[in-house]
Amino acid sequence: MSSIPSLKIANLAYAYPDGHQALYGVNLEITKGEKVALLGPNGAGKTTLVLHLNGIIATQQGSVSVAGSVVDSKNKESLKHIRERVGIVFQDPDDQLFMPTVAEDVAFGPFNSGLRGAELEKVTNDALSKVGMLEFRDRPPHHLSFGQRRRVAVATVLAMSPEILVLDEPSSNLDPASRRELAEILRSLDVTILMVTHDLPYALELCERSVILSGGVIAVDEKTPDLFKKTELLASHRLELPFGFKL
Protein backbone atom coordinates (compact mmCIF):
# COMPACT_ATOMS: atom_id res chain seq x y z
CA MET A 1 0.00 0.00 0.00
CA SER A 2 1.30 3.45 -0.96
CA SER A 3 2.50 5.65 1.90
CA ILE A 4 1.12 8.71 0.07
CA PRO A 5 -2.53 9.21 1.10
CA SER A 6 -5.20 9.30 -1.61
CA LEU A 7 -6.58 12.42 0.04
CA LYS A 8 -5.11 14.85 2.53
CA ILE A 9 -7.04 17.93 3.67
CA ALA A 10 -5.25 20.30 6.04
CA ASN A 11 -6.86 23.24 7.87
CA LEU A 12 -9.36 23.82 5.05
CA ALA A 13 -11.55 26.87 5.69
CA TYR A 14 -14.00 28.48 3.30
CA ALA A 15 -16.45 31.39 3.38
CA TYR A 16 -18.95 32.14 0.62
CA PRO A 17 -19.09 35.65 -0.89
CA ASP A 18 -22.14 36.50 1.23
CA GLY A 19 -20.01 35.92 4.33
CA HIS A 20 -21.42 32.52 5.28
CA GLN A 21 -18.58 30.43 6.74
CA ALA A 22 -19.09 26.85 5.54
CA LEU A 23 -15.79 25.28 6.65
CA TYR A 24 -13.78 26.35 9.68
CA GLY A 25 -10.67 24.18 9.46
CA VAL A 26 -11.21 20.66 8.14
CA ASN A 27 -8.46 18.07 8.62
CA LEU A 28 -8.91 14.67 6.99
CA GLU A 29 -6.58 12.00 5.64
CA ILE A 30 -7.71 8.94 3.65
CA THR A 31 -5.23 6.22 2.77
CA LYS A 32 -5.18 4.46 -0.58
CA GLY A 33 -7.91 1.84 -0.86
CA GLU A 34 -9.95 3.02 2.14
CA LYS A 35 -13.72 3.37 1.92
CA VAL A 36 -14.88 6.25 4.09
CA ALA A 37 -18.38 7.64 4.72
CA LEU A 38 -18.76 11.41 5.05
CA LEU A 39 -21.77 12.02 7.28
CA GLY A 40 -23.43 15.12 8.63
CA PRO A 41 -26.70 17.04 8.78
CA ASN A 42 -27.88 19.23 5.92
CA GLY A 43 -25.93 22.47 5.88
CA ALA A 44 -22.87 20.91 7.53
CA GLY A 45 -20.63 21.79 4.58
CA LYS A 46 -20.35 18.35 2.94
CA THR A 47 -20.99 19.60 -0.60
CA THR A 48 -18.65 22.55 -0.10
CA LEU A 49 -15.94 20.17 1.04
CA VAL A 50 -16.43 17.77 -1.89
CA LEU A 51 -16.30 20.58 -4.46
CA HIS A 52 -12.85 21.51 -3.14
CA LEU A 53 -11.50 18.08 -4.04
CA ASN A 54 -11.28 18.76 -7.76
CA GLY A 55 -11.02 22.53 -7.67
CA ILE A 56 -14.63 23.43 -8.53
CA ILE A 57 -14.39 25.61 -5.43
CA ALA A 58 -11.00 27.31 -5.12
CA THR A 59 -9.11 26.88 -1.85
CA GLN A 60 -9.15 30.04 0.30
CA GLN A 61 -7.30 28.77 3.34
CA GLY A 62 -5.54 25.48 4.03
CA SER A 63 -4.78 22.84 1.41
CA VAL A 64 -6.17 19.79 -0.39
CA SER A 65 -3.86 17.15 -1.86
CA VAL A 66 -4.81 14.16 -4.03
CA ALA A 67 -2.19 11.41 -4.22
CA GLY A 68 0.45 13.97 -3.21
CA SER A 69 -0.59 16.62 -5.76
CA VAL A 70 -1.93 19.90 -4.35
CA VAL A 71 -5.26 21.04 -5.79
CA ASP A 72 -4.53 24.46 -7.32
CA SER A 73 -7.47 26.09 -9.11
CA LYS A 74 -5.16 28.69 -10.71
CA ASN A 75 -2.99 26.09 -12.45
CA LYS A 76 -5.01 24.78 -15.41
CA GLU A 77 -2.64 21.93 -16.26
CA SER A 78 -2.47 20.77 -12.65
CA LEU A 79 -6.25 21.07 -12.33
CA LYS A 80 -6.79 18.91 -15.42
CA HIS A 81 -4.62 16.19 -13.84
CA ILE A 82 -6.47 16.45 -10.50
CA ARG A 83 -9.87 16.16 -12.19
CA GLU A 84 -8.74 12.94 -13.82
CA ARG A 85 -7.75 11.63 -10.38
CA VAL A 86 -10.92 12.66 -8.50
CA GLY A 87 -14.08 11.10 -9.91
CA ILE A 88 -17.28 12.61 -8.55
CA VAL A 89 -20.52 10.69 -9.10
CA PHE A 90 -23.37 13.12 -8.57
CA GLN A 91 -26.68 12.27 -6.93
CA ASP A 92 -28.60 12.63 -10.21
CA PRO A 93 -27.03 10.50 -12.98
CA ASP A 94 -28.72 12.69 -15.59
CA ASP A 95 -26.23 15.42 -14.59
CA GLN A 96 -23.48 13.18 -16.04
CA LEU A 97 -25.08 11.36 -18.94
CA PHE A 98 -25.61 13.44 -22.08
CA MET A 99 -24.31 11.44 -25.07
CA PRO A 100 -26.47 9.43 -27.52
CA THR A 101 -25.31 6.04 -26.19
CA VAL A 102 -24.00 4.53 -22.97
CA ALA A 103 -20.64 3.69 -24.59
CA GLU A 104 -20.18 7.27 -25.84
CA ASP A 105 -20.88 8.62 -22.36
CA VAL A 106 -18.27 6.33 -20.79
CA ALA A 107 -15.75 7.06 -23.58
CA PHE A 108 -16.19 10.84 -23.30
CA GLY A 109 -13.58 11.46 -20.59
CA PRO A 110 -10.87 9.13 -21.94
CA PHE A 111 -11.45 10.49 -25.49
CA ASN A 112 -10.87 14.03 -24.25
CA SER A 113 -7.71 12.81 -22.52
CA GLY A 114 -6.36 11.60 -25.88
CA LEU A 115 -7.33 7.92 -26.07
CA ARG A 116 -8.39 6.59 -29.47
CA GLY A 117 -9.18 3.36 -31.31
CA ALA A 118 -8.75 -0.03 -29.66
CA GLU A 119 -7.35 1.47 -26.44
CA LEU A 120 -10.42 3.69 -26.03
CA GLU A 121 -12.71 0.74 -26.78
CA LYS A 122 -10.96 -1.40 -24.15
CA VAL A 123 -11.13 1.27 -21.44
CA THR A 124 -14.83 1.84 -22.18
CA ASN A 125 -15.72 -1.84 -22.15
CA ASP A 126 -13.68 -2.50 -18.99
CA ALA A 127 -15.46 0.30 -17.11
CA LEU A 128 -18.88 -0.94 -18.23
CA SER A 129 -17.97 -4.52 -17.26
CA LYS A 130 -17.05 -3.36 -13.74
CA VAL A 131 -20.59 -2.04 -13.22
CA GLY A 132 -22.34 -4.88 -15.05
CA MET A 133 -23.56 -2.69 -17.93
CA LEU A 134 -21.50 -3.90 -20.91
CA GLU A 135 -24.53 -5.42 -22.66
CA PHE A 136 -26.20 -1.97 -22.63
CA ARG A 137 -23.28 -0.16 -24.28
CA ASP A 138 -25.26 0.77 -27.43
CA ARG A 139 -28.44 1.83 -25.63
CA PRO A 140 -29.46 5.47 -25.16
CA PRO A 141 -29.00 6.32 -21.46
CA HIS A 142 -32.55 7.70 -21.18
CA HIS A 143 -33.91 4.23 -22.04
CA LEU A 144 -32.33 2.77 -18.88
CA SER A 145 -33.80 2.53 -15.40
CA PHE A 146 -32.64 5.00 -12.77
CA GLY A 147 -30.46 2.36 -11.09
CA GLN A 148 -28.88 1.42 -14.41
CA ARG A 149 -28.15 5.08 -15.19
CA ARG A 150 -26.43 5.46 -11.82
CA ARG A 151 -24.22 2.48 -12.61
CA VAL A 152 -23.32 3.99 -15.99
CA ALA A 153 -22.50 7.28 -14.21
CA VAL A 154 -20.08 5.32 -12.00
CA ALA A 155 -18.57 3.76 -15.15
CA THR A 156 -17.97 7.20 -16.70
CA VAL A 157 -15.78 7.98 -13.71
CA LEU A 158 -14.07 4.58 -13.51
CA ALA A 159 -13.03 4.94 -17.17
CA MET A 160 -10.65 7.70 -16.03
CA SER A 161 -8.89 5.38 -13.53
CA PRO A 162 -9.40 7.78 -10.61
CA GLU A 163 -7.35 7.82 -7.43
CA ILE A 164 -10.49 8.49 -5.42
CA LEU A 165 -14.16 7.92 -6.19
CA VAL A 166 -16.50 10.42 -4.54
CA LEU A 167 -20.14 9.33 -4.37
CA ASP A 168 -22.90 11.80 -3.51
CA GLU A 169 -25.84 9.95 -1.88
CA PRO A 170 -25.30 6.81 -4.03
CA SER A 171 -28.28 4.89 -2.59
CA SER A 172 -30.87 7.66 -3.01
CA ASN A 173 -33.96 6.82 -5.11
CA LEU A 174 -32.87 3.21 -5.65
CA ASP A 175 -35.22 0.27 -5.25
CA PRO A 176 -33.95 -2.51 -2.93
CA ALA A 177 -32.54 -4.67 -5.76
CA SER A 178 -30.71 -1.74 -7.40
CA ARG A 179 -29.39 -0.67 -4.01
CA ARG A 180 -27.98 -4.17 -3.39
CA GLU A 181 -26.50 -4.40 -6.90
CA LEU A 182 -24.74 -1.06 -6.53
CA ALA A 183 -23.38 -2.06 -3.12
CA GLU A 184 -21.91 -5.25 -4.60
CA ILE A 185 -20.25 -3.21 -7.37
CA LEU A 186 -18.81 -0.62 -4.99
CA ARG A 187 -17.52 -3.34 -2.67
CA SER A 188 -15.68 -4.99 -5.56
CA LEU A 189 -13.85 -1.87 -6.74
CA ASP A 190 -10.15 -1.51 -6.01
CA VAL A 191 -10.29 2.25 -5.53
CA THR A 192 -10.39 4.72 -2.65
CA ILE A 193 -13.98 5.77 -1.93
CA LEU A 194 -15.41 8.79 -0.14
CA MET A 195 -19.17 8.35 0.17
CA VAL A 196 -21.35 11.31 1.13
CA THR A 197 -24.56 9.90 2.55
CA HIS A 198 -27.46 10.22 5.00
CA ASP A 199 -28.08 6.48 4.57
CA LEU A 200 -26.39 5.09 7.68
CA PRO A 201 -27.07 1.39 6.92
CA TYR A 202 -25.40 1.86 3.51
CA ALA A 203 -22.42 3.50 5.17
CA LEU A 204 -22.19 0.57 7.59
CA GLU A 205 -22.40 -1.92 4.73
CA LEU A 206 -19.70 -0.32 2.58
CA CYS A 207 -17.40 1.85 4.70
CA GLU A 208 -15.13 0.63 7.47
CA ARG A 209 -14.63 4.22 8.63
CA SER A 210 -16.99 7.16 9.03
CA VAL A 211 -16.38 10.85 9.66
CA ILE A 212 -18.99 13.38 10.73
CA LEU A 213 -18.71 16.91 9.39
CA SER A 214 -20.50 19.25 11.75
CA GLY A 215 -20.17 22.96 12.31
CA GLY A 216 -17.62 23.20 9.51
CA VAL A 217 -15.11 20.79 11.09
CA ILE A 218 -14.60 17.04 11.32
CA ALA A 219 -16.31 16.42 14.67
CA VAL A 220 -16.03 12.61 14.75
CA ASP A 221 -13.73 10.11 13.02
CA GLU A 222 -14.26 6.47 14.00
CA LYS A 223 -14.69 2.94 12.75
CA THR A 224 -18.25 2.79 11.41
CA PRO A 225 -19.54 -0.09 13.62
CA ASP A 226 -18.18 1.60 16.76
CA LEU A 227 -19.68 4.97 15.85
CA PHE A 228 -23.12 3.57 15.08
CA LYS A 229 -23.38 2.06 18.56
CA LYS A 230 -23.28 5.63 19.95
CA THR A 231 -26.87 6.63 19.22
CA GLU A 232 -26.73 9.72 21.42
CA LEU A 233 -23.62 10.99 19.63
CA LEU A 234 -25.30 10.39 16.27
CA ALA A 235 -28.44 12.18 17.43
CA SER A 236 -26.41 15.18 18.57
CA HIS A 237 -25.38 15.58 14.91
CA ARG A 238 -28.93 14.97 13.61
CA LEU A 239 -28.08 11.47 12.38
CA GLU A 240 -30.33 8.49 13.08
CA LEU A 241 -30.39 4.82 12.21
CA PRO A 242 -33.74 3.57 10.86
CA PHE A 243 -36.32 2.45 13.42
CA GLY A 244 -35.69 -1.12 14.49
CA PHE A 245 -32.29 -1.32 12.80
CA LYS A 246 -30.01 -3.83 14.55
CA LEU A 247 -26.20 -3.59 14.42
Domain limits of the chain? 7-96+163-236
pTM: 0.93
The confidence band for 2, taking pLDDT boundaries of 50, 70 and 90, is: low
Considering the four listed CATH numbers 1.10.1270.20, 3.40.50.300, 3.40.190.10, 3.20.20.80, the one that applies to the domain covering 7-96+163-236 is 3.40.50.300
Helices (H), 53-188: 76-85, 102-112, 117-130, 146-158, 176-188
The pLDDT value given to residue 130: 96
Q: What is the pLDDT of residues 71-127, one digit of tens each?
A: 998 888 888 889 999 999 999 999 999 999 999 999 999 999 999 999 999 999 999
- Mean pLDDT for all residues in the chain: 93
Q: What's the CA gap between 135 and 127, in Å, rounded?
A: 12
